[in-house]
Chain A
Amino acid sequence: MISPSGRVTAILRRANALIVGLTLLLSGPLAYAQTVSTNPAAVPSFKKLDSIEARVQGCVTCHGQQGQGTGNGYFPRIAGKPAGYLYNQLVAFRDGTRSYPPMNYLVAYLPDSYLKEIAAHFAAQRPAFSPRSTVPVDPAVTARGQTLATAGDAAKGVPACIACHGAQLTGMQPGIPGLAGLRPAYVVGQLTRWRVGERRAAEPDCMKRIASRLSDTDITAVAAWLSQQTPPKEASPEPSNLVRMPLACGSQR
């Protein structure tokens, strides 16, 4: 059902080590909780019992009431990501093709139609972004990150993030997530998982091609630069533009 925990923690540890290299202290997903959360966005609450809002209370302590994310750096913002992307992830978590035990467990027995509804709900949310990361990073690292994100690395065969994830990093319909508002812990974690084959997407898996060409330093750099960008006011995904995509991605088919 779920990949051996040892392997997951080893990968997370490796990802964590990278982040510590970023001089960030990561409170990882399996880390020990410190205090009762005082973040109101992470506390269950709803207006009407018979509503999708009440039904997705199972998501809010990690992803926030509107999917804006919470204080924990590992849990991603899911608000405003394309519904197709969110649905693909929920199905992958349910079926075990994307491994993250807390999510695998939560959605294990939910039918497709409901996962679609949950995805559409969070895709429609537009909450404000949390304040961006103010962690000082070596300018050389940030510069490398900016190059990768905005121009790519032709020598390595790595296209720019913005080529697919949108000029404003707000994602592209139907299947490419926004990167705006994601924190370095999550970005490093996912790129690392992709590189080691722990995370996969529909074939052709463009992110696999990209992640396998990135070094640890590249991953750290791009995560750092992304986290320092100010998200746009209107953070909706761009319309689908298959013609323009530098690599073929199964999730866009």
Chain B
Amino acid sequence: MQTKTRIASAVVVLGLLAAGGLYFLHPGFLPKEKVASRAVGNDIISRGEYLARAGDCVACHTAANGPMFAGGRAMPTPFGNLYVPNITPDDDTGIGRWNAAEFYRMMHTGISRDGTLLYPAMPFASYTQVTRADSDAIFAYLMSVPPVKQKNREHELRFPYNNRELLLGWRTLYFKEGEYKADPSQSVEWNRGAYLVKGLGHCAMCHTAVNALGGSSESKAFEGGMIPNQNWYAPSLTSNREAGLGEWKEQDIADLLQVGTSHHGTTYGPMAEVVYNSLQYLTDEDAKAMAVYLKALPQRDSAPLPTSQARLVSPEVIEAGRKVYAGQCAVCHGAEGKGQGASYPPLAGNQSITMESPVNSIRMVLNGGYAPGTLKNPRPYGMPPFSHILNDDDVAAVVTYIRVAWGNNGTPVKPTQVNDLRKILPE
């Protein structure tokens, strides 16, 4: 009886199994698997796209309204115009015949596929830090974009700079190749930030002063400088008198980079361009990592800040500046210069207002400016131009006023400094 029952249940179980097997093996009844949205091979391309954003390749390698990465954009330098090359995968005019190893050699050493030395307008002094894996990903991404047939334009450099042999000397003086090495005494986050800032982000291109030969020295890293040909001043990232990042909250630094605005200050001009084309696409983690690294940069100028120079400014100038401020500026920036959240930046206690170079403040008063429209701030606030409303004396007075009012420790500005910048077209 029991045996019969066992046999019967075994038969039932086997029958069920067979039926189940048939059910599942029948083509129409295969369990539906979630199909991966992208083939595995595309992961490297997606990663490469992200890294190319972080490196801001598009900003230089795309001409205004030109096809993406097809080059042709003029890049004015103190030595003449450079014309940025086509990096689309076109076989004849782009990098279609390159391979990943050649691309890495170019990123790492600044030597092109055919052995010519690249001009350091290509930030290979920073990109040399990029890992082989990241370089390969960027290469895979570039290979995946539409090829564009567009011949590269010859550079227009003045003698003697048009002689590429000079680059041998430049490289000896200013170029050190080397992949980023993690500092084990620092956090993973700090190292990630350092890698992005020093490598793909190539922040040193603007935030480190360049000398007459277009070189910069390690010892001056991130100490700020005028951006050649753009007449904006890139503030020092290491000095509490300038960007003063040592005193910022990490979140504010991350916001400035990724959102374009923060409660501490706002990006305009060349930095707005970097945010718009590159930094807004960073993940929150990467923006934060950069903030961690930047906040921890060795702080120079730890000496006490100079006291306000207000006493050196004639009362008439202060009064003229105060009048202009009350009439044109206070409605947004507040009577006490406190600003309004991230909408209108504060002027009181804002190092970018008080730092030694008044260039950016003067330019903002003359030409106004909009923060970049970003994923997290798609409807930015803007400041109107005043160049047609205020004369040189007015602008000098109001910039002087904001540099010394409310305990700000800046120095006065002269009308001639305003006039020099008035002659320059806004960009």
The answer to whether the Cβ of A196 comes within 8 Å of any Cβ in the partner chain is no
Please pick, from A37, A49, A95, A114, the residue contacting B340 in the complex, using a CB distance under 8 A.
A49
How many residues of B sit at the interface, in one of the four size bands?
Answer: 35 or more
Please pick, from B64, B331, B370, B387, the residue contacting A110 in the complex, using a CB distance under 8 A.
B370
Known contacts: A1-B427, A111-B378. The answer to whether A59 contacts B331 by CB under 8 A is no
> A31-51 CB contact bits vs B (8 Å, 1 = yes)?
111111100001111100100
B327 and A61 within 8 A (CB):
no
A33 and B390 within 8 A (CB):
yes
B390 and A44 within 8 A (CB):
no
Chain B residues in 8 Å Cβ range of A31: 388
> A224-236 CB contact bits vs B (8 Å, 1 = yes)?
0000000000000
Residue in A closest to B381 when the chains form the complex, CB atoms: A55
- B51-92 residues with Cβ-Cβ distance < 8 A to A are 64-65
B378 and A58 within 8 A (CB):
no
Please pick, from B273, B331, B384, the residue contacting A58 in the complex, using a CB distance under 8 A.
B384
The answer to whether the Cβ of A252 comes within 8 Å of any Cβ in the partner chain is no
CA distance A54 to B383 in the complex (A): 10
Residue in B closest to A31 when the chains form the complex, CB atoms: B388
A178 → chain B closest CB, angstroms: 23
B74 → chain A closest CB, angstroms: 9
- A174-228 residues with Cβ-Cβ distance < 8 A to B are none
Residue in B closest to A110 when the chains form the complex, CB atoms: B373
Residue in A closest to B280 when the chains form the complex, CB atoms: A109
B381 and A54 within 8 A (CB):
yes
B121 → chain A closest CB, angstroms: 16
Most B Cβ at <10 Å: residue of A1, A95, A107: A1
CA distance A46 to B331 in the complex (A): 8
CA distance A27 to B389 in the complex (A): 11
Chain A residues in 8 Å Cβ range of B65: 95-97
B332 and A57 within 8 A (CB):
yes
A33 and B389 within 8 A (CB):
yes
Please pick, from A55, A60, A72, the residue contacting B380 in the complex, using a CB distance under 8 A.
A55
Chain A residues in 8 Å Cβ range of B394: 33, 36
Known contacts: A54-B381, A105-B427. The answer to whether A36 contacts B327 by CB under 8 A is yes
- B372-407 residues with Cβ-Cβ distance < 8 A to A are 372-373, 378-391, 394
Please pick, from A29, A36, A96, the residue contacting B64 in the complex, using a CB distance under 8 A.
A96
The answer to whether the Cβ of A62 comes within 8 Å of any Cβ in the partner chain is yes
The answer to whether the Cβ of A134 comes within 8 Å of any Cβ in the partner chain is no
The answer to whether the Cβ of B257 comes within 8 Å of any Cβ in the partner chain is no
The answer to whether the Cβ of A2 comes within 8 Å of any Cβ in the partner chain is yes
B382 and A57 within 8 A (CB):
yes
The answer to whether the Cβ of A245 comes within 8 Å of any Cβ in the partner chain is no
Count contacts on A: residues with CB < 8 A to the other chain: 46
Residue in A closest to B76 when the chains form the complex, CB atoms: A1
A115 → chain B closest CB, angstroms: 9
B384 and A61 within 8 A (CB):
yes
The answer to whether the Cβ of A139 comes within 8 Å of any Cβ in the partner chain is no
Known contacts: A2-B425, A54-B343. The answer to whether A106 contacts B382 by CB under 8 A is yes
The answer to whether the Cβ of B276 comes within 8 Å of any Cβ in the partner chain is yes
Please pick, from A29, A43, A59, the residue contacting B388 in the complex, using a CB distance under 8 A.
A29
> A70-107 CB contact bits vs B (8 Å, 1 = yes)?
00100000000000000000000001110001101111
B384 and A109 within 8 A (CB):
no
The answer to whether the Cβ of A5 comes within 8 Å of any Cβ in the partner chain is yes
Please pick, from B340, B369, B378, B427, the residue contacting A2 in the complex, using a CB distance under 8 A.
B427
- B286-332 residues with Cβ-Cβ distance < 8 A to A are 323-324, 327-329, 331-332
Known contacts: A55-B379, A109-B370. The answer to whether A43 contacts B327 by CB under 8 A is yes
Chain A residues in 8 Å Cβ range of B323: 36
The answer to whether the Cβ of B215 comes within 8 Å of any Cβ in the partner chain is no
CA distance A102 to B387 in the complex (A): 10
B427 and A58 within 8 A (CB):
no
Chain B residues in 8 Å Cβ range of A29: 388
A62 and B385 within 8 A (CB):
yes
Chain A residues in 8 Å Cβ range of B332: 44, 57
A35 and B331 within 8 A (CB):
no
Known contacts: A44-B332, A102-B367, A105-B427. The answer to whether A57 contacts B381 by CB under 8 A is yes
Residue in A closest to B390 when the chains form the complex, CB atoms: A33
A113 and B382 within 8 A (CB):
no
CA distance A223 to B427 in the complex (A): 30
Please pick, from B329, B367, B386, the residue contacting A105 in the complex, using a CB distance under 8 A.
B367
Most B Cβ at <10 Å: residue of A52, A54, A56, A109: A109
> B347-371 CB contact bits vs A (8 Å, 1 = yes)?
0000000000000000000011111
The answer to whether the Cβ of B194 comes within 8 Å of any Cβ in the partner chain is no
B378 → chain A closest CB, angstroms: 6
B388 and A33 within 8 A (CB):
yes
A1 and B64 within 8 A (CB):
yes
B388 and A62 within 8 A (CB):
yes
Seen from chain A, the residues whose Cβ lies within 8 Å of a Cβ on chain B are 1-2, 5, 8, 27, 29, 31-37, 42-46, 49, 52, 54-62, 72, 95-97, 101-102, 104-111, 113-114, 117
Instruction: Return the 3 tightest CB-CB contacts between A and B, nearest first.
Output: A58-B382, A105-B426, A109-B372
Could you list 8 A-B pairs, sorted by A, with CB under 8 Å? A34-B391, A55-B380, A59-B382, A106-B368, A106-B385, A109-B276, A109-B372, A109-B373
Seen from chain B, the residues whose Cβ lies within 8 Å of a Cβ on chain A are 64-65, 272-273, 275-276, 323-324, 327-329, 331-332, 340-341, 343, 367-373, 378-391, 394, 425-427
With A43-B331, A105-B426, A109-B373 already in contact, 19 other A-B pairs whose C-beta atoms are closer than 8 Å = A5-B425, A33-B390, A36-B328, A43-B327, A45-B331, A55-B381, A57-B381, A58-B368, A58-B383, A101-B425, A101-B426, A102-B367, A102-B385, A104-B427, A106-B370, A106-B385, A109-B273, A109-B370, A114-B379
